[in-house]
Structure 1
């Protein structure tokens, strides 16, 4: 059997707010309840399982590889929300798009301070 990532838990203060933020920005299907969690599923059969936890929430990084069309739509939704974004994970280049490897990438925070990244080239 090969080894594949199946899921990871995303600790958050409000699983509904955090899971819905992600699906709205990325244009994904609605989260599905599973026990005490809300599950966000991706095309590669991996899921992020949002689970309420008391603060402080340690910031994690989650990166999402998108095709150009999906990136355009997600980026437009970020801008429409007035969401701050950066070209770098250190947040030193606000409102810029990183063109590393001939693609595009931006970083932004979710409601719990997890650093999210959308990008088009590996």
Structure 2
């Protein structure tokens, strides 16, 4: 069960994702223990997020599942405090900005005007 402190971090993650227009879905897989707590969808990017209480450690089963997800090309992040959530959101925003600049860079599409 989620500890109160972990719940505070998870609620903050949800609030920050909503504030930036991201989907932040609760992830529960009854047949698979150790899956991350949340799936964040940000403009076509899908990222798994494990929420821990401050200083909390991953359980062995979580470590195994995170490694399996990464082997299959998934991105998995762990946050355990509000600054960690802020850094995660900034990371997503930075990546989204870079993707947007690449899509709209006329030098990349060959549509630059002379």
TM-score range, shorter chain: 0.3 to 0.5
TM-score (norm 2): 0.34
TM-score (norm 1): 0.33
Instruction: Decide which structure has greater helix share.
Output: 2
Instruction: Decide which structure has greater strand share.
Output: 1
* Larger-gyration structure (1/2): 2
